[in-house]
Amino acid sequence: MFQARTDLAIEAREIYEQKNKGHIKDIELDKEEKDNYSVTRVKILNAYGEKRLGKSVGTYITIDVPALKNADQDLKDEISQAMAKELKALIKPNKHTKSLVVGLGNWNITPDALGPKVIDKVYVTRHLFKAYNKTEDEDMTSVSAISPGVMGITGIETSETIKGIVEKTKPDIVIAVDALASRKMERVSTTIQITDAGISPGSGIGNERKALNKETLGVPVYAIGIPTVVDAATMVNDTMELIIESLKNQADKGTEFYSMLEEMESQDKYQLIKEVLTPYMPNVVVTPKEIDELISNLSLIVANGINIALHHGIDLKDVNRYIN
């Protein structure tokens, strides 16, 4: 059966509860509504919840911003601050925290370039701490950053590169930034996910590499991601559901045709999609046409959030002056 591709825990939960017509007892959910955005916290408590959602045990924070695609500077700043607040609450950094920020993805492919673009804007300071032999500062913490590329470019597994850097530089935490996949077009470029459960690079597009988490790297790994693509097959499925709903509205209740539409199972639709798409485009993802501008804006929002969260003496005025 066709499986909807998504990296978002909030969507995995929605899909599971829709399919099983009920709430998952092994998952905690909390939602907070703001004027311009909402924050949803999904906490997977144990192995049962992990198995049901296909996501590792941990906390997944989703910031939904419907207007993010057309955000003005005020909204960008507001979301950077919201992201910094959630990241701080998750990491709980102090003046001595040493961080490694990793920009995952392929800088040659725009929808996959979020991580490398963020690295360009992260305020790195580890070299200054080393040069002045300092362990703390009144405004900054020690931050290093790397964009390791993808195996198709480097010939090296991303996890191997990051593990070597972690062993050599000994950070207290790793923050990985990556482009994600969503199952809903409306969440593409409008949703930010933050988690303490690490990340499996490329999982959303069916190219899963070795996970980056505490078990593989030896230090806590926090992941930040924004969906930049949606699977073509999920778009076809959603379109079919809209068509079926429209036909139901036009059909007379009680007729054989209406009953057929009413009883059509999701599995039937998925199977039909699989049979139709496989010969032509079995592994296609879709991204907005304005993705270049979106990645530029989103990378700035994420980088500002990271800079504010990690550097205790830096605020929005400082990061906006530092980043062009």
pLDDT in tens, 109-164: 999 999 999 999 999 999 999 999 999 999 999 999 999 988 888 999 899 999 99
* Structural domains in the chain, sorted by start: 9-229+289-322 (3.40.50.1450), 234-277 (no CATH)
pLDDT in tens, 223-275: 999 999 987 777 777 777 777 777 777 777 767 766 766 666 555 565 666 67
Q: Is pLDDT at 279 greater than 80 in this prediction?
A: no
Give pTM, 2 decimals. 0.86
Mean pLDDT of 269-287: 68
Residues 6+ apart with CB under 8 A from 269: 237, 240, 241
Tokens representing 132 are: 């002045």
Confidence at 280, pLDDT banded by 50, 70, 90 = low
pLDDT at residue 268, rounded to an integer: 59
Q: Is pLDDT at 202 greater than 90 in this prediction?
A: no
Q: Is pLDDT at 324 greater than 60 in this prediction?
A: no
Tokens representing 259 are: 């009953």
Contacts 24+ apart (CB under 8 A), 34-43: 34/82, 36/65, 36/67, 36/75, 36/78, 36/79, 37/63, 37/64, 37/65, 37/66, 37/78, 37/79, 37/82, 38/63, 38/64, 39/63, 39/64, 39/82, 39/86, 40/10, 40/64, 42/9, 42/10, 42/13
Tokens representing 117 are: 């673009």
**Which stretches does DSSP call E strand in the chain?**
27-33, 38-44, 58-64, 98-103, 142-146, 173-182, 191-195, 221-231, 285-286
Percentage of the chain with pLDDT > 70?
A: 86
